[in-house]
């Protein structure tokens, strides 16, 4: 009963309406929903993070609005494709989600993914109670309401992490854009900049042994091509899951078993994809820059006081 009341309050329709909407013939239009959070919510740093790492053709962040292409499987395995946009609003403690009505059959999945990507379930007061002490050692670092940039698609974010190993964010973005332009699936959206769907693991594996040569033409070295192929293989075989159906420990162990994925990459994926709130990347270049004059051991020692919210501390230091 409470679920029905809350659903009606938030989305202005009963849960049963989703079944009717999903089974009806879709019109060419959009649906807009309000996704609430517990304030405060520092939207600007999160949207800036996503903007700096947006994959050309897949994502776009303009004037503080995040847009992306989406392809998800419906209840009967049918592909549901379209676009979504997410924007903050100053009037309410909420984000505004707008999606193509072609995505209605997978509406609950879209809401779930957006909620995780924008960290809407966080308790900022609990985080602040632990991390306000960061400002004693690094003044101005922590601000209440900071959120962890999550991932809409686990495979996409994991591939982006592999491409970004030991190079700058800008260089990784260039490689990711080439990757999508070559291996992605074109889609007509009517929105400039949203032109492709990210390749699936099966699409990656369809290149076989020729994947390294194909990616080599794009400037992606063979070791990273092999890591991407191993990642896709593990997901297809089921030895790795990035959907939260296995524990974080099991998932990180499976990631580390893949050649070409080390501790930084597995921890980065755990933070963004698995939503692990207690990841600290002591050897990350951004963390080194934000904690000058410290050794990795010293950084780890300082971060002990930031448990169990070291992921929020990491994002604060990046900011």
Q: CB–CB of 83/28 below 8 Å? A: no
Q: Determine the pLDDT at residue 18.
A: 64
Whether the pLDDT of residue 13 is over 90: the answer is no
Q: Say whether pLDDT at 118 is over 50.
A: yes
- List the alpha helices (DSSP H) in 206-307: 211-216, 222-237, 248-256, 263-272, 285-290, 296-303
**Radius of gyration (C-alpha) of the chain in whole angstroms:** 20
Residue-level pLDDT at 26: 43
pLDDT digits (tens, 9 = 90+) for 26-66: 445 899 999 999 999 999 999 999 999 999 999 999 999 99
Q: How confident is the model at residue 25 (pLDDT cuts 50, 70, 90)?
A: very low
Neighbouring C-beta atoms of residue 217, cutoff 10 Å: 9
The alpha helices in 24-168, defined as continuous H runs, are 43-52, 107-117, 124-131, 134-137, 154-163
**pLDDT band per the 50, 70, 90 thresholds, residue 286:** very high
Check: CB of residue 280 under 8 Å from CB of residue 313.
yes
Residue 21 has pLDDT above 60, yes or no: no
Give the rounded percent of residues in the chain with a pLDDT score beyond 90: 88
Rounded to an integer, the average pLDDT of 63-73 is 96
Q: How confident is the model over 226-249, as pLDDT tens digits?
A: 999 999 999 999 999 999 889 999
Distances (CA, A) of 218 to 158, 181, 233, 315: 18, 10, 21, 30
Structural domains in the chain, sorted by start? 2-116 (3.30.310.20), 154-276 (1.10.340.30)
22 C-beta neighbours (distance < 10 Å), count: 17
Q: What is the pLDDT of residue 28?
A: 59
* Integer angstrom CA distances of residue 69 from 57, 150, 170, 272: 8, 16, 21, 19
- Measured in whole angstroms, how far is the alpha carbon of residue 168 from the centre of its chain? 19
Higher pLDDT among residues 106 and 75, named by residue? 106
Instruction: Give the tens place of pLDDT for each residue, 140-175.
Output: 999 999 999 999 999 999 999 999 999 999 999 999
């Amino acid at each position: 009963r409470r679920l029905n009341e809350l659903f009606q309050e938030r989305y202005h329709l009963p849960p049963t309406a989703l079944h009717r909407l999903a089974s009806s013939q879709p019109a060419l239009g959009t649906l807009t929903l309000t996704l609430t959070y517990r304030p405060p919510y520092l939207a600007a740093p999160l949207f800036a993070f996503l903007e700096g790492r947006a994959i050309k053709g897949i994502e776009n962040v303009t004037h503080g609005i995040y847009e992306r292409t989406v392809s998800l499987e419906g209840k009967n395995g049918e592909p549901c494709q379209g676009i979504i946009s997410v924007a903050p609003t100053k009037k309410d403690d909420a984000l505004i989600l707008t999606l193509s009505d072609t995505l209605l059959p997978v509406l609950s999945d879209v809401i779930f993914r957006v909620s995780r990507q924008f960290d809407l379930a966080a308790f900022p007061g609990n985080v602040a109670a632990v991390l306000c002490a960061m400002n004693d050692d690094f003044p101005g670092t922590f601000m209440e309401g900071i959120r962890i940039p999550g991932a809409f698609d686990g495979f996409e974010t994991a591939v982006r992490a592999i491409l970004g190993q030991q190079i700058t964010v800008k260089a990784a973005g260039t490689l990711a854009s080439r990757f999508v332009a070559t291996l992605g699936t074109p889609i007509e959206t009517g929105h400039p900049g949203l032109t492709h769907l990210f390749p699936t693991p099966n699409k990656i594996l369809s290149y076989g042994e020729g994947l390294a040569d194909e990616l080599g033409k794009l400037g992606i070295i063979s070791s990273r091509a092999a890591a991407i192929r191993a990642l896709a293989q593990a997901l297809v075989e089921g030895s790795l899951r990035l959907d939260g159906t296995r524990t974080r420990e099991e998932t990180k162990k499976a990631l580390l078993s893949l050649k070409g994925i080390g501790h930084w990459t597995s921890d980065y994926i755990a933070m963004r994809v698995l939503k692990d709130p207690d990841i600290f990347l002591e050897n990350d270049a951004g963390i080194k820059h934000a904690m000058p004059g410290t050794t990795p051991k010293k950084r780890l020692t300082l971060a002990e006081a930031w448990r169990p919210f070291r992921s929020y501390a990491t994002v604060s230091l990046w900011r």
